[in-house]
């Protein structure tokens, strides 16, 4: 049974935070899907991942001939042809409780400087924990990631 980890971005933007989380997920042996709501935004994120500094992150955008082979697949769909066991949600993408339970990990990344993103993350937290999913809330307010809240599965 999986858990949802909420990452409240306040110091570093998505394009700086996502690569480190992807590296950790790949290091854990997980295949990852990064789900967003806008294809153009995912194309931009794809370019950022290729330009990023540090470790090479093998990835691709959904819709190509090698989707099933991608360790990290950027997508707007609920389909995960790469067999992802970790799902990272960006820009308010949705996830249901059944999907959280079926995966090893779901990561919800949200920009804490945007009131709409903050409210959407709060609504997701409530919906998932009310449905009995385990969840953790992580904040980078202090300059490093700290777990601020946790709710166990019911």
Query: What does the domain layout of the chain look like in residue ranges?
Result: 3-78+89-101+108-151
Per-residue pLDDT tens digits for 89-118:
999 999 999 999 999 999 999 999 999 999
CATH 3.40.30.10 fits 3-78+89-101+108-151, yes or no: no
Each residue of 46-72: pLDDT tens digit? Answer: 988 887 666 678 899 999 899 999 999
Q: Which residues face 74 on adjacent strands?
A: 34, 61
Percentage of the chain lying above the pLDDT 90 cut: 85
**Greater pLDDT, 127 or 154:** 127
SS3 111: strand
3: number of Cβ within 10 Å: 20
Phi then psi for residue 151, to 5 deg, are -135, 125
User: CB count, 10 Å around CB of 43?
Assistant: 13
Concatenating the DSSP letter of every residue in 41-87 gives HHHHHHHHHHH-SSS----EETTSTTGGG-SEEEESSS--TT--SEE
The neighbour count for residue 114, using CB atoms within 10 Å, is 14
**For residue 34, with 0-12 CB atoms within 10 Å meaning exposed, 13-18 middle and 19 or more buried, which class applies?**
buried
pLDDT at 54: 63
pLDDT at 40: 94
Structure tokens at 145: 């990631």
């Amino acid at each position: 049974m999986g858990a949802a980890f909420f990452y409240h971005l306040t110091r570093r933007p998505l394009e700086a935070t996502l690569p480190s989380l992807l590296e950790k997920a790949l290091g854990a042996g997980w295949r990852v899907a990064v789900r967003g709501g806008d294809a153009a935004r995912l194309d931009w994120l794809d370019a950022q991942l290729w330009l990023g500094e540090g470790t090479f992150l093998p990835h691709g955008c959904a819709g190509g001939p090698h989707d099933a082979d991608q360790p990290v697949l950027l997508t707007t769909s609920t389909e995960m042809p790469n067999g992802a066991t970790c799902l990272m949600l960006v820009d308010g993408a949705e996830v249901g409780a059944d999907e959280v339970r079926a995966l090893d990990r779901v990561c919800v990344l949200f920009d804490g400087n945007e009131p709409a993103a903050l409210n959407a993350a709060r609504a997701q937290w409530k919906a998932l924990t009310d449905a009995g999913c385990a969840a953790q809330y992580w904040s980078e307010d202090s300059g490093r990631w700290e777990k601020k809240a946790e709710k166990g599965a019911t």
